[in-house]
Amino acid sequence: MSPVIHILGLGPGKGYITVDTLEVLKKSARVFLRTEVHPGVEELKSMGIVYTSFDECYNTHESFEGVYEEIVERLLSYAEEYVEISYAVPGSPMVDEKTVEKLIDRAADMGIELDIRPGMSFIDAMAAELRFDLRNIMLLDATDFEPYSIDTSLGVIISQVYDKFIASEVKIKLSRVYDDNTLVTVISGAGNGDMMRKVEIPLYQLDRIEWIDHLTSVYIRPMGFEDRERHGFEDFKYIMDRLRRDCPWDKKQTHESLRQYLLEETYEVLEAIDLDDDEKLMEELGDLMLQIFFHAKIAEEKGNFDIYDVVDRVSKKMILRHPHVFGDVKVSSSDDVLKNWAKIKKEEKRQKTQTEVMESIPHNLPALMLSCKVQDKAAEVGFDWDDVDGAMEKVYEEMEELREVYKGTDTDRMEEELGDLLFAVVNVARFLNIQPELALKRTADKFISRFCYIEKAAERKNQRLQDMSLDDMNVLWEEAKVNKTGKKNQK
């Protein structure tokens, strides 16, 4: 006979143990309880059912995970030793019971049979008390949930709110999704008559309740779109769907017509980063996200892909290209990460030569950025200078070649030599880990700032720039450099 564990539920409180469960417990020679701190345990005592609880495990571990692991280890060991045992848990075995989940994962591999009997869960008692429909419920464990997994269009139950410390953590997580004044119901001992306590309070007061205990759960009612103080991914998709359906301007947009806005929003994000303005960055990232959702919606209408496909594709890409995170590959530096990335990307795209890799770089990138990427790809196979000195010598060489032609009439040759010089300068920037596009933009911004100084200084002297000599303007330019940078010889 294979070892067997009868897994039973004690219900949400006193009087909810099923007849079937009681019969199994009465016949069992070995009964184990996850905890005896439960209203229904008195019923077992009154019937003379002898049991062993695992309550001492809670005092020997710093985390619930450790508690559950020890309980499961001991149960599996007892099953092998005694052949047949019973294990009873609060509520229903298949509702929010981590030890049962772990037993299911491990028992079969050890040849241990699990006999799981249904029981009434604490959710049934909560539903009856608070009058909600179980079809529209999301159940979360207070000790292990991510706030952005919450769907606010559903009723949300947070179980295992054992104490004020956990209640505080739950409050912080929920405040990422709900407004601080959102009403939540805190309930303890649902279905236990006079033992039951419940109160409806604003979310921000969640950890101020004195009577929170091991039977406490939190319930948040479903919220309609118009009622939500904070919005998430699904809300934004709904907004985009409505815009494409009801807004005349949004309805007529195409991938092509939106190109300019995608570019504009990208540059506005960059500007917010340059300004170190978090508030502006948050707003501009939202505007950029709007463009992504917009293009995905247009593609969805054509039957090509939707925003979920976009998220799925990039998620799979990140997992595949980070084998050192999601796999067994070992790396020792960020350089190793980049090498792995390039190798995996090349395999993904079935590129056999480095020329194919270069040709796959989008050629509508800004020229400086394109040049930098091309040089990076050449460097991957060793076509590169040993150090920045070699790259710098190439700049001098290209400068001399431009000097030879710039006074002539061959504009095609001049363009070629100027391009070679710029390409060489990009290579120096690459060695210095400087983005040439950003460096040139910074200089352009600096030029505008200093020119503004010249113009305002001329106005103060009642002079027009058109009437000033270059020498006069250079004097003001030098003043601008001192005022803006504090370094007289910096330009």
Reported as a single tens digit per residue, the pLDDT across 334-358 is 888 888 888 888 888 888 888 888 8
Q: What pLDDT sits at residue 491?
A: 41
Residue 351, pLDDT score: 81
Range with lowest mean pLDDT among 16-25, 221-230, 233-242: 221-230
* Residue 175 to residue 258: CA distance in whole angstroms: 35
User: What does the mean pLDDT of the chain come to?
Assistant: 93
Q: Which CATH architecture has domain 4-120?
A: 3-Layer(aba) Sandwich (3.40)
Q: How confident is the model at residue 213 (pLDDT cuts 50, 70, 90)?
A: very high
pLDDT at position 176 over 60: yes
pLDDT at 352: 81
- Tell me the HSE value of 44 on the side-chain side, using a 13 A CA sphere: 33
CATH number for the region 123-227 comes to: 3.30.950.10
**For residues 143-172, average pLDDT:** 94
| Contact by Cβ (8 Å): 219, 173 | no
Answer whether residue 125 shows pLDDT above 90. yes
- Domains 4-120 and 233-320 agree in fold: no
- Give the pLDDT confidence of 21-41 residue by residue, as tens digits: 999 999 999 999 999 999 999
Per-residue pLDDT, averaged over 450-478, amounts to 91
pLDDT value of residue 489: 45
**Taking residues 218-231, what's their average pLDDT?**
90
Whether pLDDT at 54 is above 90: yes
Q: What is the CATH number of domain 233-320?
A: 1.10.287.1080
Higher pLDDT, 479 or 291: 291
pLDDT of residue 344: 85
* For residue 52, pLDDT beyond 80: yes
How is the chain split into domains, by residue range? 4-120, 123-227, 233-320, 437-485
Q: What percent of the chain has pLDDT over 70?
A: 98
